[in-house]
A and B are shown apart, each in its own frame.
Chain A
Amino acid sequence: MAEQFTVHDPRGFPPKVTGKRLAPRLQSLDGKVVYLVDCLFDNSEVFMNQLLDWFGEHLPAVDARIIKPRQSWVDDPEMRAKVEADGNAAILGVGL
């Protein structure tokens, strides 16, 4: 039998995972304000405009609005507050 060695585990210590519940869903998007949050990646604006047009053509009863944070990859509390105050749902996208 080959010699046995006891060695250390080289990994760090992961944090505890704490469960979070999802927010309640809507029964329908009709008459609701849906914010399309442009994350500001290169060309995401073009994608979001296409998404906006799709809602206009296929679900005109949805009030879809594009909104942008001030910076890419940086939290924008003012934008989030506006989405929360005025909106009923949000679609976030899209990178790369």
Chain B
Amino acid sequence: MPTVAVHTDKFARLVTATLLANGMPTARQAYVPQPVVGRTAAQLRAYVEGTDPVSRRPFMQEVIEGLCRPLDDKDLKGVSFERSTPRLLAPDSEENLQKLFIDNSWTDFLPVTLPTEERVDRMLKGTSHAPDEVVGRLSPTAFRESWEFTVEKVAVNAVMAGCRPEYLPVVLALAASGQTARSSSTTSFATLALVNGPIRGEIGMNSGIGVLGPFNHANTTIGRAYNLLSQNLQGGSVPGDTYMGSLGNWYNYSAAFPEAEERSPWQPFHVQKGFKTEDSVVSVFFGGRYTLAGFGPRQTWQQEFRRAFAACEQHLAPLIVMDPICARGFVDLGFDTKEKLIAWFADHARLSAREYWDNQWIQTLLRPLAVAGVEPHASRLKAAPDEMIQIYEPGDISIAVAGGETQGAWRMFGGWHMKSVSIDEWR
């Protein structure tokens, strides 16, 4: 059936690249100006009656010709081709290679350790897996093509990030998660990585003072490796092509930390997810686009957390990282498991229905489900505008304990728990 797809003009390069990757570069498209969100009916009518900002021709002419213009040879053939990437690059000086990596958007614009054959061979000693074993596939979004990668390719990126060989099983587990740390979403996601189990101590990760900052070699380089491998193994993270985050996200440099299991009053996160205490596991949390902070629990902790949850984005539940002082304070209040505290949080994380539904992503992703009668969305849609409605289910909220006990601090990061992956399987 003849079709024309309508996009906003900011996505023109992405559309072109996606069409080529799908073998049909001449598929008919039409463009309107960005944005559509927030525009009135009259403004959108002007888009329809106006000019396609990409072709500079009348928008409706593009649409109608897209459906009716006869096909030519290119339309009938599409394009087919093999692509690959070489194992090794042409020899060059260190200065030129650093420039090449920057020019090709293979770095995070901080200096990288060049992945020489010797360094990659040394890195590969960190795992028993063969260099040519396929680890998995990654893509910038679910709707883009997925690129495949091997153990050696992961090791290359681990070298670039400055990792030591003993970190490689963690980096391989992150790569095997299938969850990119470089989503191309317009909403500027990051993916946070939580490490549990004995490997934390074996490789010297820091769960104490400054756990979430640049104060530990393993924490920092593992998080950096996850981001570098995501951009390079998925086919890029280049603004306008394979990255569309409007604001970007500093957590895209590095965001990996271990749980302070030995100082936590609660069950470790990976045990909550069905692993054994002695298992080494990395869990990935997709989000990172908001951060809130507080201290406590003090006398008014309930009000403080109600305010905090009301300030969270209603479409993205938080990962809450608590210093052990804070966690033990909640135990003193009777919350002797994470699950009990999460249940309280879920019950008291509320917004008026008016505010809840006035969110672009709630409208886009959850309203159709509500209209179709899917719970709990349908009940939330039925609520009166001023009714305070629950915005998260208990399963949406995660808690991890980490920190140096210099403050009873907590922090909330937007973060859906996506997956927990065995590190031991990649040793």
Contacts and interface: CB of A to CB of B under 8 A. Distances in A.
Interface of A: 2-29, 34, 40-44, 46-47, 49-51, 53-54, 58-59, 68-73, 83-84, 87-96
B239 interface: no
- Closest 9 pairs between A and B when the two form their complex, measured CB to CB: A19-B78, A93-B6, A12-B233, A2-B93, A12-B147, A12-B149, A19-B80, A19-B23, A4-B91
Nearest to B6: A93
Nearest to B27: A22
A70 to B, nearest CB: 6
Contact of B89 (A9, A17, A94): A9
B8 interface: yes
Nearest to B228: A10
Interface residues of B, number: 97
Contacts of B47: 47, 50
A8 B87 contact: yes
A34 B106 CA distance: 44
Interface string B1-43: 1111111101100000000111110111000101111111100
Nearest to A92: B5
B116 interface: yes
Interface string B37-75: 111110011011100000000001001100111110001
**Binding site of B, secondary structure by majority: helix, strand, loop or mixed?**
mixed
B160 interface: yes
B146 A17 contact: no
Of A83, A88, A96, the most chain B CB neighbours within 10 A belong to A96
Contact of A23 (B2, B32, B159): B2
B191 interface: no
A20 B78 contact: yes
Given A5-B97, A8-B87, A8-B120, A20 B24 contact: yes
B272 interface: no
B161 to A, nearest CB: 10
Nearest to A88: B1
A15 B138 CA distance: 12
Contacts of A94: 6-8, 32, 36
B23 A96 contact: no
Given A4-B93, A5-B94, A93-B5, A34 B67 contact: yes
B110 interface: no
26 contacts: A4-B93, A5-B91, A6-B116, A10-B115, A10-B153, A10-B156, A11-B232, A12-B85, A13-B84, A14-B145, A17-B80, A17-B81, A20-B78, A21-B77, A23-B2, A27-B68, A44-B36, A46-B39, A47-B48, A50-B44, A73-B143, A87-B1, A90-B1, A91-B6, A94-B32, A95-B11
B48 A42 contact: no
Interface stretch (B201-209, B322-330, B339-347, B364-372): B364-372
A8 B37 contact: no
Contacts of A69: 368
